[in-house]
Amino acid sequence: MKYYVINLDKRTERFKSFKEQFSKISTLDNLVRVSGVEYQDETGDVQITRAACSAAHGNALKLGLESGEDVFTIFEDDIFFYDHTVQLIDKSLSYLKGKDWDLLYWGCVPRAEFTDKPLLKTEEDYILKVMCAGTAHAITYNRQFALKYIKDLPSSSKRAEWVRWANSNVCHDHFLKQFQIQGKSYTPNEICACQYNGYSDIDGNQSNRQEVIEKQFGDYK
């Protein structure tokens, strides 16, 4: 499987750190770096940075489809993996083989927005259904879903197109919630990839993402 990591050109230290983490789960010849997108903005409007982040995910999605692989994974660069990651992801992908599925989240923030049960049990104790969750820092895509999903995204990286899209859809991870409710998204029963605490280029401030992800997931699983 090919892995794509979104990384801003100026964030060389993050890419270095990510490669060290990635070596825990695969070899670097399976990794493709995707340049992050930045749009000029003097106002500090978070929707501009959300649009840029969503555009970068769109670019990574195109590369994944161009690879021709049945499944591929898109990472953001501010994440780390666990000792159990490889085993649980492999088991989860084996479970999904032959099934009709869309997304496999390596970690997520369950949200009780469209349902009071954002995570549902399956017949196997190591994998859960995702009915409503945020974050897009580590997702494996089924090619058949990606082919449909990319049609909902702007066809280019032009600022105006993505800002207009973001104004209607907020951001990439929020937009995916409409597909989760169909019951074809999954996640292992333990977080396999988590974001570090630190500065968020999207929000423009310090973030405690690790605590949020771990607490929300623990509350709902």
Cα 27–Cα 4–Cα 177 angle in degrees, nearest 5 = 130
Q: Reduce the DSSP state of residue 45 to 3 states and report it.
A: coil
Angstrom distance (rounded) from CA 46 to CA 51? 9
Average pLDDT, the chain: 94
Domain count, the chain: 1
What range does the domain containing 183 cover?
2-220
Q: Is residue 200's pLDDT more than 70?
A: no
pLDDT average, residue stretch 66-86: 97
Q: Is residue 140 a contact partner of residue 72, using CB atoms and an 8 Å limit? A: yes
Q: Give the CATH number, domain containing residue 109.
A: 3.90.550
215 three-class SS = helix
User: Do residues 15 and 33 lie in contact, with contact meaning Cβ atoms separated by under 8 Å?
Assistant: yes
- State the pLDDT confidence band at 7, using cuts at 50, 70 and 90: very high
Phi first, then psi: give them for residue 7, nearest 5 degrees. -150, 120
What are the tens digits of pLDDT across the range 154-173? 998 899 999 999 999 999 99
pLDDT over 70 percentage in the chain: 96
